[in-house]
Amino acid sequence: MRALSRRGMLGLGAGAAAAVSLAGCGGLTGSDDSGRADGSGGDSAQGGSKPEPEPTARPIGDGSTAHTGKQPHQPGKPEPLEPGQTPPQFVVFSWDGAGEVGNGLFPRFLDLAKEHGASMTFFLSGLYLLPESKKRLYNPPNNPRGASDIGYLTDDHVKATLKNVRRAWLEGHEIGTHFNGHFCGETHGSVKNWTPRQWRSEIDQAKAFVKEWRTNTGWTDLPSLPFDYDKELVGGRTPCLLGQDNLLPTARELGWRYDASSPGGLQVWPTKRQGIWDLPLQQIPFPGRGFEVLSMDYNMLANQSLNSTKAPTHNYPGWRKQSAQAYIQGFKRAYETNRAPFFVGNHFEQWNGGIYMDAVEEAFRHIAREKEKGADVRLVSFRQFTDWLDAQKPEVLDKLRTLGVGQQPAGGWRQFTGRTSIPGEDASRNAA
C-alpha cells in the first residue's frame, strides 16, 4: 500500500487527506535472515518463555491450512462500556504485504509484540505464497495473466513467509489480506477501476494462494498454516488505498467485518460504510511541518525524501526522529483527548536505511511503556478492535463520534459517558 498526503503539494483540506497512488509496494529487499521465526524466541507475551505448544491439526483441502481449534492468546469477551467509564485507548499496528525476504523484519516485530503482550494485523499478499514458476495461475482483473506490480518471492522467501505467518497466528495476531498484484495508478488495470465482481475474483485468488500453497509449491515437509482462512479473513487493505467503494459490496457479501482502505481518515471514532467498519489510516501531527501526514511509513518517506527510498544518509537521524515523534504525538493526542483508536500502517522494508522500521519500533515501545505504567492502552489487531466495537451500545458509539480530533469530553469522561443521550439531543428534543 502506498499513498501520500502532503498539504503543500496536494492542497489537502482540513477534513480529509488525499491518496496519491504510486507503483506498488515493490522491491522487498534484505540480506541476513536474522531473528527467530519458530515461535520460540523472546519472552512469552502471556508470561514465561516456553515454546508455543503444537496444536492438533485437522487438515483442510490439500493440507495447506488446518483446523487447530481456537486461536491462542486472544483477549476475553469484550464488554460494553459502563456508564461513566473512560474508553480504552486502542492502538492497531498493521503490516501491508507481510512477506519475509531474509531481512529479519517480520520476526523482529513478532518478537517486539510478544515482548509486550501485543497483537497486530498482518495484511498478507496472496502472491507471497505463490512461486514465480507458477505465476500464470494468477489472472488479475484488467491485467495480463501472471502480471504483478510487486515482485514474486524466491522459493526460500516463500518458505520464510509461511513460517512467520504461521508463527504470527499462533501468537495471537490476525492474518488479513493485501490482495495480490498491487496494481495502482490511473491505468485501466488499476484496482481503482475494478468492479465488485472483479474484486471478488481477486479475493478468491488471494484466498486460494493461501489455501493451496502446498499444491502450488509441491512442498510436503512444511507444517500447515494453523487456521481456516475462510473464517480467519474478515478484513483487508487495498493497494494504495484505492478502490474501496467497489470493494465494499463484495466485502459485505463475503461477511467481512471491516475494511482498512479508506484514503486518509481523521483521529475520530469510526463509522460503518455499507455495513462494514471503516478503519482508515489517519492524519497525525508531522513535527516541524504545517500539515499532517497519514499514519504510515511510506507517507513519512514521501514527505521527507519525495518518494526516494535511498536519500542521502545525512538526513536519516532527523527523519527517523520526526517519524517516531509523528506516531507518538498521534497516540498522545488521542489518548489525552477523545480516545479515538489509533491506526498505524507499515511495510517490512529498509527504505532510507531502515529508519522507518526504527521509528515505528520506538513509537511502539513508547506506547507499550504507557500501558505497562498503568494506562488503559490496548495494543490489538483490527479484528480484536472490531470485536470490541460490536460489543458496544450504539448510543454510546454515537456519543463518542461527536468528539472531534483532539477534543476532550465536556465535563470529563465520567459525565460524558454517563449521559444517556447524545450531546445536544436533549435541547433539540425540548425545542420540538
The continuous run of DSSP H or E covering 343 comes out as: strand 342-347
What is the pLDDT at residue 264? 82
Residue at 355 is within a domain: yes
Residue at 15 is within a domain: no
What distance in Å separates the CA atoms of residue 17 and residue 262, rounded to the nearest whole number? 10
Record the cell numbers describing residue 314, joined without a space: 545525512
What distance in Å separates the CA atoms of residue 145 and residue 138, rounded to the nearest whole number? 6
Report the domain count for the chain.
1
What distance in Å separates the CA atoms of residue 12 and residue 311, rounded to the nearest whole number? 25
Beta bridge partners of 343: 92
Please give the C-alpha separations between residue 318 and each of 34, 290, 295, 314, 352, in angstroms, as whole numbers. Answer: 26, 17, 18, 8, 12
Q: Which DSSP string do the residues of 156-205 spell out, in sequence order? A: HHHHHHHHHHHHHHHTT-EEEE--SS---SSSTTSGGG--HHHHHHHHHH
Cα torsion 102, 107, 112, 116 to 10°: value is 180
Residue at 334 is within a domain: yes
Residue at 163 is within a domain: yes
Residues 348, 106 contacting (CB under 8 angstroms)? yes
- Specify the CATH number for the domain of residue 366: 3.20.20.370
What is the pLDDT at residue 16? 31
Residues 267, 406 contacting (CB under 8 angstroms)? yes
Task: List the domain range (segments joined by +) for residue 167.
Answer: 84-391
Residue at 47 is within a domain: no
pLDDT per residue rounded down to tens, the chain (432 residues): 444 433 323 222 223 333 332 323 444 433 333 333 333 333 333 334 455 666 789 999 999 999 999 999 999 999 999 999 999 999 999 999 999 999 999 999 999 999 999 999 999 999 999 999 999 999 999 999 999 999 999 999 999 999 999 999 999 999 999 999 999 989 999 999 999 999 999 999 999 999 999 999 999 999 999 999 999 999 999 999 999 999 999 999 999 999 999 988 999 999 999 999 999 999 999 999 999 999 999 999 999 999 899 999 999 999 999 999 999 999 999 999 999 999 999 999 999 999 999 999 999 999 999 999 999 999 999 999 999 999 999 999 999 999 999 999 999 999 999 965 544 544 333 333
**Sole residue written with cell 489455501:** 211
Residue at 19 is within a domain: no
Residue at 23 is within a domain: no
What is the pLDDT at residue 29? 36
Residue at 21 is within a domain: no
What is the pLDDT at residue 343? 98
